[in-house]
Amino acid sequence: MTATTEAVQGPATASRRNEKVGQVVSTKMQKTIVVEVEMRKAHAKYKRIVRSTKKFYAHDEQSSARVGDVVRIRETRPLSKLKRWSLEEIVRRSSLGQIEDAAQKAAN
């Protein structure tokens, strides 16, 4: 009986943390990225789609994300004054970063 309850509770506790998908706007800090998440919501009275953005500071252990990448971030314990998110995965690489890499290889 306990084995089945643990199996049921396992995925629920793993997915309890909030996840967001956004675009990296800054990588100037060490092991930290700034992710801008766009939220679209219908206006309560006028029903027009209103677009709003919010920036989140996320922990990037390997410093693998680059500006322009689309990333998935997951809520975590507070890591600093502003960081409460960690980089989960890079959904899509930016074409700008690939051009910069090619330029660096050509320079070397």
- CATH number of the domain at 60, please: 2.40.50.140
Residues in the chain: 108
26 token code pair: 């800054």
93 token code pair: 């690489």
Q: What are the distances in angstroms from CA 102 to CA 69, 92, 107?
A: 17, 18, 9
Classify residue 100: in a domain, yes or no: yes
Tally of domains within the chain: 1
R_g (Cα) of the chain, nearest Å? 18
State the residue range of the domain holding 54. 16-107
Which of helix, strand or coil describes residue 93? coil
pLDDT tens per residue across all 108 residues of the chain = 455 544 555 555 556 889 999 999 999 999 999 999 999 999 999 999 999 999 999 999 999 999 999 999 999 999 999 999 999 999 999 887 667 767 777 877
Pair 59, 86: CB distance under 8 Å: yes
Report the b/e string of 15-49 with b at 16+ CB within 10 A.
Answer: eeeeebebbbeebeeeebbbbeeeeeeeeeeeeee
Strands (E), the chain: 19-29, 32-42, 49-59, 70-75, 85-92
Classify residue 81: in a domain, yes or no: yes
pTM reported for the whole predicted model: 0.75
Classify residue 9: in a domain, yes or no: no
